[in-house]
Structure 1
């Protein structure tokens, strides 16, 4: 029987390039591009379209949507963006430009507030950096077609970033970004979307407490500022995918978020899918992930 964690170390095509959104080693994003000679038509991009509305019409190259991947790993330093390479390569093979952001994590200068500083900055600025880096090439990025895809703790971060407009004025990261493009939506895969419950269940041996410096009773202001369940609804449509057999993040987390967020949020539970199937292009769950990204773009 195949070990579902095998995807975390599986060999995959390396990124085409890396862009930096800050001066620190972890403030970077790896970029994959679809192969130009055989670019498939992707959702929301008419066949034969060229140019990019963000970088100029009429230039060579086909404009494609950008998927920004926020990797998981319970916010810990031992899990970096490299484990998302199969996922990113799979998305690029489906016709998308892909940027996998890195950010400071617990054990490497991350946690409160650095992890959130980095993710907010990355999601605000990386799309434009990728568009600039690929300008004039055979594949160009359409900044009006951006989707954020997060897995596990990365889903928490992606949904949180889309919910910053719910923060009170003056709070860290409050308000919507005036720097980067507004995403068409967020696809949250097996998301840690209830931080109070994650702390109570002691997921990954205290991962949430390590991230925020304590439990909800000790750090109530921090939980209030970064728990997506307290910041509903997000500012963009959110699609939740969760495997019914997830042993790492309870599917009830996504159910509770969907119930609280209401309209604009879609939940799909995948029978017989586990935690890592959602980032594995070789799994039976992978087509559902591609469908979710395509649906976000169709609705945009």
Structure 2
């Protein structure tokens, strides 16, 4: 493995057994969290791809603030069914959760994946009131590849073309994300991303016009060096209100699960972001 591969190999920071156990926890914790929650599962949000999302934690007669939770998986694995483990914690705080799918790489280009996640934001803004969601209180959170995609909804420059207000995202939390994709051109990940340098530049939130929403950047303590470095750079780059958490004792994969615990540093930070 080359040095640059090592920098961006999240899976190399855990054993195979640890990785498999966390992947299983994503699904089991999500299933437990949504059991009995009011919601609207399996809604089509993007006619160009026919991808779907689930809405959880709504309440009759309310328009609740929204957290759109974007899954990771290096843009090539996992789904919305693995990503609802925070839904009950948020519902208990009066917050709804939206978990979208996106077409996985290499079946979709990274440009298309970004478009789909932005389309989920647009769907909540345009159709949220029909499903108990407040279109003026949209927040986005994501881990790993989902951290990159979250950042791509928070940066400026895309909203006008989508017919959305510039401040459509009211807050964003990235967890162990990637924000400058140029190094990935020379890594193992390009086997499925198929990026060249100009496309990597265009898809890098660190190189995009920053947005105006409050940003919380988090990174796990036991993390590959590239994720640490890029999280630090993205936090420093953001001109609007920003905050930071280094999550002790966590690795690239289990850190995301902390959002299910309202007493964890990440759980508390997300609640503060949505309900300051």
TM-score grouping bracket, smaller chain normalisation: 0.7 to 0.9
The number of aligned residues is: 251
Residues 1:182 and 1:5: Cα distance change in structure 2 (over 3 Å) = same
**Greater helix content:** 2
Query: Tell me, what secondary structure is at the counterpart of 1:72?
Result: coil
Report what 1:30 is aligned to: 54
8 Å CA contact retained: 1:277, 1:283: no
In structure 2, which of residues 182, 189, 192 is the aligned counterpart of residue 210 of structure 1? 192
Report what 2:179 is aligned to: 193
User: Where does the alignment leave 5 or more consecutive residues of structure 1 unmatched?
Assistant: 37-59, 135-139, 166-172
Report what 2:211 is aligned to: 234
User: What does the per-residue CA deviation read over 1:39-87, in whole Å, with 9 as the maximum and x for residues that have no partner?
Assistant: xxxxxxxxxxxxxxxxxxxxx72332111111111111x3211111323
1:184 maps onto 2:180 in alignment: no
> 1:141 and 1:233 mapped to 2: Cα distance?
26
Report what 1:131 is aligned to: 129
Residues 1:264 and 1:19: Cα distance change in structure 2 (over 3 Å) = same
What's the offset of the Cα at 1:257? 1.1
Report what 1:41 is aligned to: none
Query: Tell me, what secondary structure is at the counterpart of 1:295?
Result: helix
Query: Tell me, what secondary structure is at the counterpart of 2:192?
Result: helix
> 1:20 and 1:284 mapped to 2: Cα distance?
29
8 Å CA contact retained: 1:155, 1:188: yes
Residues 1:93 and 1:176: Cα distance change in structure 2 (over 3 Å) = farther
Report what 2:221 is aligned to: 244
8 Å CA contact retained: 2:261, 2:267: no
Query: Tell me, what secondary structure is at the counterpart of 1:291?
Result: helix
What's the offset of the Cα at 1:147? 0.8
**Greater strand content:** 2
User: What does the per-residue CA deviation read over 1:242-284, in whole Å, with 9 as the maximum and x for residues that have no partner?
Assistant: 1111259632221111122344332211111222333225877
Residues 1:199 and 1:292: Cα distance change in structure 2 (over 3 Å) = farther
> 2:164 and 2:240 mapped to 1: Cα distance?
27
Residues 1:81 and 1:112: Cα distance change in structure 2 (over 3 Å) = same
TM-score (norm 1): 0.72
Q: Which moved more, 1:182-191 or 1:117-126?
A: 117-126
User: Where does the alignment leave 5 or more consecutive residues of structure 2 unmatched?
Assistant: 1-16
1:72 maps onto 2:72 in alignment: yes
1:146 maps onto 2:138 in alignment: yes
User: What does the per-residue CA deviation read over 1:71-108, in whole Å, with 9 as the maximum and x for residues that have no partner?
Assistant: 111111x321111132334433443111101111214x
Report what 2:90 is aligned to: 91
Query: Tell me, what secondary structure is at the counterpart of 2:230?
Result: helix
Aligned Cα root-mean-square deviation (Å): 3.0
User: What does the per-residue CA deviation read over 1:184-231, in whole Å, with 9 as the maximum and x for residues that have no partner?
Assistant: 11111111222123444x3xx31x5522x23xxxx2321221101111
What's the offset of the Cα at 1:174? 6.9
